[in-house]
């Protein structure tokens, strides 16, 4: 078997060499290193198992276990009959874990969901200046239409998850930062999925939430960061009251 290439890790940090766990961690790390060193991008084809064994100097069973781990994380995409590709690395696994955590053991007065809501607020407030700068002086009829739809749906006592997600995605669309958009979308999804399972009732405050989206958009188009921050706070007040949380 060929020797491992220079620059690739040969053991998992802190793990006793020779154990199954450390071998799996080491091989997983070396495949990630391989992707980076080779400059592979999402959708690029990885070498076969045999080729990876030869290039990394590891056993076939170690490669298989590592590929399974990386597939679970979305780092690689195994297409049976076609090969293994660099994955899109979405945040789906993170979302599923957080949803399960929130549903399985909310505990401590709904602490898990409160944490998610707090992170959503931090992201919205943290990106406020950039969002306002990107939308200042513009007209966004598509986003205003979403606000009108949210207000109308709220008047009927219903929630508006589709419009809500489209609105927040639209606010971030002009930013040159794909990761923050993915994070906002991921935590939005956790929030939306977990709330009904915990029996929280925020329908009475849906009108405030819907109109707060309009205030956010108006402030951004006017270039008013302070008003945008105030609107973000108003947006989260209803769920904050339901959770007994303090708005940051």
User: Per-residue pLDDT tens for 18-65?
Assistant: 466 787 788 999 999 999 898 888 889 999 999 999 998 888 998 999
User: Per-residue pLDDT tens for 195-230?
Assistant: 666 565 555 578 888 999 999 999 999 999 999 999
β-bridge mates for residue 79, sequence order = 83
3-state helix, strand, coil split of the chain in percent (to 5) is: 65, 5, 30
Q: Specify the pLDDT at position 214.
A: 96
Question: Under DSSP, is residue 83 helix (H, G, I), strand (E, B) or coil?
Answer: strand
pLDDT at residue 184 is higher than 80: no
| Residue 87's pLDDT band (cuts 50, 70, 90) | confident
| Residue 232's pLDDT band (cuts 50, 70, 90) | very high
Strand ranges inside the chain, DSSP E: 76-79, 83-86
Mean pLDDT score, 142-165:
91
Q: Specify the pLDDT at position 1.
A: 45
Residue listed under structure tokens 């951004």: 220
Containing 105, the helix (H) or strand (E) segment is none
Q: How far is CA 61 from CA 50, 70, 80, in A?
A: 10, 14, 17
Rounded Cα distance between 73 and 59, Å, is 21
Classify residue 45 by its DSSP letter. Answer: B
């Amino acid at each position: 078997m060929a020797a491992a290439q220079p620059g690739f890790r040969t053991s998992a940090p802190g793990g006793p060499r020779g154990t199954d766990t450390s071998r799996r961690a080491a091989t997983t790390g070396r495949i990630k290193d391989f992707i980076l060193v080779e400059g592979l991008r999402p959708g690029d084809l990885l070498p076969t198992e045999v080729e990876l064994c030869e290039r990394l100097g590891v056993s076939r069973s170690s490669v298989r276990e590592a590929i399974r781990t990386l597939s679970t994380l979305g780092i690689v995409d195994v297409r049976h009959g076609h090969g293994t590709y660099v994955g899109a690395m979405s945040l789906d696994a993170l979302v599923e874990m957080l949803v399960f955590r929130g549903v399985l053991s909310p505990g401590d007065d709904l602490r898990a969901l409160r944490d998610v809501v707090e992170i959503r607020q931090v992201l919205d407030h943290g990106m406020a200046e950039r969002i306002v700068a990107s939308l200042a002086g513009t007209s966004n009829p598509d986003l205003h239409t979403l606000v009108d739809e949210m207000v109308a749906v709220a008047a009927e006592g219903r929630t508006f998850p589709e419009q809500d997600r489209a609105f927040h995605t639209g606010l971030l669309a002009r930013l040159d930062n794909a990761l923050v958009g993915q994070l906002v979308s991921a935590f939005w999804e956790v929030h939306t999925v977990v709330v009904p399972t915990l029996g929280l009732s925020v329908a009475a405050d849906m009108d405030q939430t819907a109109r707060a989206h309009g205030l956010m958009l108006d402030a951004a188009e006017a270039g008013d960061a302070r008003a945008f921050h105030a609107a973000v706070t108003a947006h989260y007040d209803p769920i904050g009251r339901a959770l007994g949380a303090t708005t940051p």
